[in-house]
Structure 1
Amino acid sequence: MRAFACPVCSEFTAFDTDRCANCQTTLGFHLPTKSMVSLVDGTAVLDGQRWVRCTQYVTLGCNWLAAEEHDEFKKRGRCLADSLIRREPAADDTLAREKLVPTAAALRRLVYQLDDIGLPIDPFWRRDGGLAFDLLSSYTTGEKVIIGHAGGVITIDVVESLDAYREALRVRLGEPYRTMLGHFRHEVGHYYQNILVETGSGAAKYLDDCRSLFGDEQASYSDSIARHYKSGAPANWDESFISEYATMHPWEDFAECFAHYLHIADTIDTSREAGMVLLAERVRFAAPRDIVPLETYDDQPIERMLFDWRWMSMFFNRVNTAMGKNPLYPFEIPLAVAEKLGFVHRVIRETARAAED
């Protein structure tokens, strides 16, 4: 993610902040320019357009701006990210609303990245089957909330924002990594596989290649679930899959690879924006060359991104373990997974280029 600066004093400002810690300027995040802008009475004027605070500023702590009097927004006054929320806990469900705040924050990070890499964000209120998020609570309602995707709607259980709950599930399910942002990235992978690969013009362009890499998505999903939870992952699964969960069904394999692509791309971007490089002459072990994250990997093969990531993640893993925590990226990327990530890279980059033309 980009390193944002205060427009008044140029001090670093966090992505979710609403005030400069140095000069106390009131700030708002403007998605079209990917920048923090200064506000006067909660308003900014950019290229003749008035922008105001998202109406979820108080309830969800949203620091994004929304275009004033934007008629196409059915959820008037909400920023793009928050307008994608189709269902949410009731106003009087205070415990669930409390957990909705960090959940919505993770959603905004997802939407920022999707917009930044050029993927289409077509909301449910604009067309049937558009992207929507049901952010619900199993903890307070007692109703079962199944995290998943169906017909453009992504359902998330906000109780997953509780560290203890999420960690207990991670351990019980044998997962090396489980976060709210990870859930969003995985589930949105299902959405983009459907609209970019399986339907429309994408089917003729990508579907055969997708099936050759991930398998036939027409295989029974219910049978695959039953087999996975009865027998687990096949032997030597780590030679062809990024995670055990990816072995369950071709859809899950694609979604896991899509999520990992977003993990890797965002962490590399954030590192570059911090000015981080690995100097081969300064390390105590053999390094092939300086690792300098590129401004963009759009025109680079996936191998270049993954080569840089291998060395960068080695550093991040060591930092985490130095703090007594688990490695930041506890995954190996075998050749078969690299090829799958290369397919995700191709679909994303070609989709973004087509939108620019």
Structure 2
Amino acid sequence: MKLFKCQACDQLLYFENTKCERSQHRLGYLADAALLSALEEEQAGWHALGRPGRTFRFCANAAHDACNWLVPAGSAEAFCASCRHNRTIPDLTSAENLRRWRKLEIAKHRLFYTLLRLGLPLANRVDDPEHGLVFDFLADAPDPTGPKVLTGHDNGIITINVKEADDKEREAMRAQMREPYRTLLGHFRHEVGHYFWDVLVRDGGFLDAFRERFGDERQDYDAALQKNYREGPPADWQEHFVSTYASCHPWEDFAETWAHYLHIVDTLEMAASFGISVRPRITRDPDLATEIDFDPHQAKDVETLVEAWLPLTFAVNSLNRAMGQPDLYPFILSAEVIDKLGFIHRIVHASARPVP
């Protein structure tokens, strides 16, 4: 993620902004240009100051204050590049569902920002009726004894329980699962990792290389999960996995590592946008210093990302502790985990299409 500025007045803007408070221009996001643009209304639609000569309209979900992305005025699509992947949304006559869904869309749009910036293939169910990527945002039945909605992935269909949008519910689940970190955006990044395992690994010719690093995914998945819940992770899990859940099964290892790859790329871009550098005054150790002056989406190798990421996390974790907060990034990247991140980096860039 990066910072933006208003084309009318140079005011600093953030990704979710819908109005420039200085110039009073309405704002809309142009996904094909990775640009938040000030807008001026015309008879034919909205003129984007960031793309002169072109006219746009808002995604249909802007009517629910759930999206600020734009669609070309002449397009047959009602929805933007992110929202057209929605298959099911909750009942919006419920104010609670609407509030939760808006939070889900903030996280999902941040996910799609990165996926689009990486140039990853993003077919929906119109493009690929059998395997396209779609989201079902579902709520539990009103009857507390009824079936519960389980967040997960199945052949391109990602189901998210809308209660995950409630901080209290999510924190209770985080504590119950003994997780150091649980966010909406993390859910989206993890679950989409399962989808891209299908697309990039299974169907992309990387199965053998995957099995060399992550293990054989043909082992019984349900049995592996039950063993993990019963016995917990292996004692040396931090030497091999980015999280305890990653140790359950090769599929979960990949999805967890994929999520962390997206965490790293997105956060490094924001750090670069702020011009952040890290250079502790108490030591000259080069491993603790970094100048984040590159586009992480275009990094030549994973070492470039990790060499910037580690000093940044050492610094921000220390800042969080100074405020009495948990570490921003409470994970250890062992040599084996970095190798797995490198595998993901390679398959992402092997399949990426050109991006602006």
Scaled by the length of structure 2, what TM-score is found?
A: 0.92
User: Which residue, 37, 40, 43 being the options, matches 2:46?
Assistant: 43
Partner of 2:140: 138
Q: Does structure 2 conserve the Cα–Cα contact (< 8 Å) formed by 1:148 and 1:156?
A: yes
Query: Offset of 1:97 from its aligned partner?
Result: 1.9
Partner of 2:212: 212
CA deviation vs aligned residue, 1:115-143 (integer Å, no higher than 9, x gap): 01111111122212111011111275754
Measured in 1, the distance between the counterparts of 2:142 and 2:11 equals: 41
Q: Does structure 2 conserve the Cα–Cα contact (< 8 Å) formed by 1:124 and 1:130?
A: yes
CA deviation vs aligned residue, 1:284-329 (integer Å, no higher than 9, x gap): 2343175111423435331221121110001111111122110000
User: Which residue, 163, 166, 182 being the options, matches 1:162?
Assistant: 166
Alignment of 1:1-357 (within 5 A): 1-41=1-41, 43-44=46-47, 46=51, 49-71=54-76, 73=77, 77-128=78-129, 129-138=131-140, 140=142, 143-199=147-203, 202-203=204-205, 206-279=206-279, 283-288=281-286, 290-297=289-296, 298-352=298-352
CA deviation vs aligned residue, 1:188-244 (integer Å, no higher than 9, x gap): 000001011101xx12xx110100100111111111111111111112111100111
How many residues are matched?
Answer: 345
Query: Offset of 1:54 from its aligned partner?
Result: 1.4
Residue 24 to residue 155, structure 1, CA distance change in 2 (3 Å) = same
Residue 99 to residue 247, structure 1, CA distance change in 2 (3 Å) = same
* Aligned amino acid, residue 169 of structure 2: Y
Query: Offset of 1:36 from its aligned partner?
Result: 1.9
Query: Offset of 1:11 from its aligned partner?
Result: 1.1
* Aligned amino acid, residue 157 of structure 1: N
Identity over aligned pairs, percent = 35
Q: Does structure 1 conserve the Cα–Cα contact (< 8 Å) formed by 2:151 and 2:158?
A: yes
Q: Which moved more, 1:80-89 or 1:54-63?
A: 54-63
Measured in 2, the distance between the counterparts of 1:78 and 1:12 equals: 27
Measured in 2, the distance between the counterparts of 1:249 and 1:148 equals: 15
| Equivalent position SS for 2:278 | coil
Q: Does structure 1 conserve the Cα–Cα contact (< 8 Å) formed by 2:268 and 2:292?
A: yes
Query: Offset of 1:105 from its aligned partner?
Result: 0.9
Q: Does structure 2 conserve the Cα–Cα contact (< 8 Å) formed by 1:7 and 1:36?
A: no
4+ aligned runs moved over 3 Å, structure 1 = 45-49, 139-143
| Equivalent position SS for 1:37 | strand
* Aligned amino acid, residue 130 of structure 1: G
Q: Does structure 2 conserve the Cα–Cα contact (< 8 Å) formed by 1:321 and 1:327?
A: yes
Gaps of 5+ in 1: none
Measured in 1, the distance between the counterparts of 2:140 and 2:79 equals: 25
Residue 141 to residue 149, structure 1, CA distance change in 2 (3 Å) = farther
RMSD of aligned Cα (Å) = 1.8
Q: Does structure 2 conserve the Cα–Cα contact (< 8 Å) formed by 1:291 and 1:311?
A: yes
Residue 140 to residue 284, structure 1, CA distance change in 2 (3 Å) = farther
Query: Offset of 1:47 from its aligned partner?
Result: 6.4
Q: Which moved more, 1:48-57 or 1:166-175?
A: 48-57
Q: Does structure 2 conserve the Cα–Cα contact (< 8 Å) formed by 1:246 and 1:254?
A: yes
Q: Does structure 1 conserve the Cα–Cα contact (< 8 Å) formed by 2:47 and 2:53?
A: no
| Equivalent position SS for 1:18 | coil
Q: Does structure 2 conserve the Cα–Cα contact (< 8 Å) formed by 1:93 and 1:140?
A: no
Q: Which moved more, 1:48-57 or 1:113-122?
A: 48-57
Q: Which moved more, 1:24-33 or 1:53-62?
A: 53-62
Measured in 2, the distance between the counterparts of 1:48 and 1:191 equals: 37
Higher RCO (C-alpha 8 Å, min separation 6)? 2
Gaps of 5+ in 2: none
Measured in 2, the distance between the counterparts of 1:279 and 1:317 equals: 15
Q: Does structure 1 conserve the Cα–Cα contact (< 8 Å) formed by 2:275 and 2:293?
A: no
* Aligned amino acid, residue 63 of structure 1: N
| Equivalent position SS for 2:32 | helix
Scaled by the length of structure 1, what TM-score is found?
A: 0.92
